[in-house]
Amino acid sequence: MASDGIRARAGRFDEEGDWIARQTFTEKDLAQSPEEYAARHAHQWGCFSYHRYRYQDPTLGAWVRRLHEILASPDEVKRCRQRFLTPAELADAHRKDAEPF
């Protein structure tokens, strides 16, 4: 049981992964590699738990798991940003990282 007294519905992590991910990530987001998505959006994620779900769509599941690996590593986020972002976009990402949530 969670510390706030709320219980997750039984089977939730087995059944809802695809639906939840598709509510969060647009088709445009999913058309990017997880590396490019992380480069452009890592600053928007304070935490990431979508990797805990099981996915009916194996491609979506692999995309989400890879995104988690990247977001869990500041060094990996840095490498992705250096690869995908222009100098101006990189400066903007650093500025956004410094902003409070």
| Per-domain boundaries in the chain | 50-101
Please report the beta strands in 14-93, taking only residues with DSSP state E, as ranges in sequence order: none
Single pTM value for the model: 0.82
- Mean pLDDT within 63-85: 97
Average pLDDT over residues 9-24: 76
Q: Which two tokens stand for residue 6?
A: 């709320």
d(CA 53, CA 51): 5
Q: What is the mean pLDDT of the chain?
A: 88
pLDDT band at 5 (very low <50, low <70, confident <90, very high): very low
How confident is residue 80, by pLDDT bands cut at 50, 70 and 90?
Answer: very high
Instruction: Give the separation between CA 5 and CA 44, rounded to whole angstroms.
Output: 27
Q: How confident is the model at residue 14 (pLDDT cuts 50, 70, 90)?
A: low
